[in-house]
Amino acid sequence: MRAQRIFLRVTIFFAIIFAIAPATSAAERKTHTVDLGAARKVPYSKAGDPSGAAPGEDSLRIRALLVDGVLKEWTTGDAHDVTDRSFVVRRVIRLNDALPTDKPPEKPASKSASNPAPAASHWVWQRGPWLLVDRATGRVTALHLPAYDPGVSQVSWFRDYAAYCGVTASGKSLYAVVAQVAARKPVLAKKLAAFDPQNQTVPACTAPDWQREPLRVTFHAAGKDAVSYDIVPGSTVLVEDTGDEEKTPAPPAPK
């Protein structure tokens, strides 16, 4: 009887160990570190980014977005905390600006005649969309803000609201837009003025100003009086799940 009791206790002990082990491993897999690296400057110009570079702007400050020490994206500007675990930051894109007729830089001839000549590359930096980053899961999601234009829209964040001047698909109208993260439709979309990018000598719109009580946002379009709109506050629509991050290839490091 004593041997049976000892055998039963040992069996229960190992059953508990094996039951806890998978849960512990899963918890370890869901622990992530998300960091923004040190800022560095890269060459930047109106020629390289026609829609985003200001006149005379010759450099851009970028930072690496690292998840578990792995480079996920390059970012620029300040990050904004949406919740205690999620933040938004603007992506910066490294784009190949070479034409099909551009010749690659001359290199010593290859010993193998079967190796084709490398294609030309001319890399430029451009300001891109905003990213939503979840510190808990390590997931990085591109935000699709309505009527957002990288060269015009200077986003001002408050809670999970993004206020900015948007441009219609026709490119002829400037709109006051307030979008909510993860919402399908904008909270606010009002026409501010006509828009003509060809004759735009000054920024079309500066970053809007937020006021908490009452919740109000003020837009400043060039050549127009400031316009304010009251926003009816609502609950956040951002859903922060507990799943592990989706695996995406890391972008190449800049040269």
Q: Residue 200 pLDDT > 80, yes or no?
A: no
**What pLDDT, on a 0 to 100 scale, did the predictor assign at position 247?**
47
DSSP secondary structure, 180-232, as one string: ETT-SS-SEEEEEEE--GGG--S-SEEEEEEETTTTEEEEEETTS--EEEE--
Residue 129 in domain: yes
**What pLDDT, on a 0 to 100 scale, did the predictor assign at position 239?**
66
Q: Residue 245 pLDDT > 80, yes or no?
A: no
122 — pLDDT class (breaks 50, 70, 90): confident
Amino acid code (one letter) for 39: A
Q: Which of 156, 164, 183 minimizes the C-alpha distance to 238?
A: 183
**What pLDDT, on a 0 to 100 scale, did the predictor assign at position 184?**
85
- Average pLDDT of the segment spanning 107-113: 53
Q: Between these two residues, 10 and 133, which has the higher pLDDT value? A: 133
Residue 251 in domain: no
**What pLDDT, on a 0 to 100 scale, did the predictor assign at position 103?**
78
Residue 23 in domain: no
Say whether 83 sits in a helix, a strand or coil.
coil
Q: Residue 114 pLDDT > 60, yes or no?
A: no
243: which residues sit within 8 A by CB, 6+ positions away?
137, 139
Q: Residue 1 pLDDT > 90, yes or no?
A: no
Residue 184 in domain: yes
Residues 207 and 156 sit within 8 Å (Cβ to Cβ) = yes
Residue 157 in domain: yes
The separation between the first and the last C-alpha atoms of the chain, rounded to the nearest angstrom, is: 74
Q: Whole-prediction pTM value?
A: 0.75
**What pLDDT, on a 0 to 100 scale, did the predictor assign at position 94?**
92
Beta-strand ranges (E) seen in the chain are 34-36, 40-43, 59-67, 70-81, 86-96, 123-134, 140-142, 156-158, 161-167, 173-180, 188-194, 205-211, 216-221, 227-230
Amino acid code (one letter) for 56: G
**What pLDDT, on a 0 to 100 scale, did the predictor assign at position 164?**
97
Q: Residue 26 pLDDT > 60, yes or no?
A: no
Q: Which domain holds residue 57?
A: 33-102+120-230
**What pLDDT, on a 0 to 100 scale, did the predictor assign at position 86?**
95
Q: Residue 89 pLDDT > 70, yes or no?
A: yes
Residue 180 in domain: yes
Residue 246 in domain: no
Residue 6 in domain: no
Domain count, the chain: 1
Work out the widest C-alpha separation in the chain, in whole angstroms: 96
Amino acid code (one letter) for 239: V
The first and second tokens of residue 159, run together, are 């809670």
Q: Residue 242 pLDDT > 70, yes or no?
A: no
Q: Residue 34 pLDDT > 80, yes or no?
A: yes
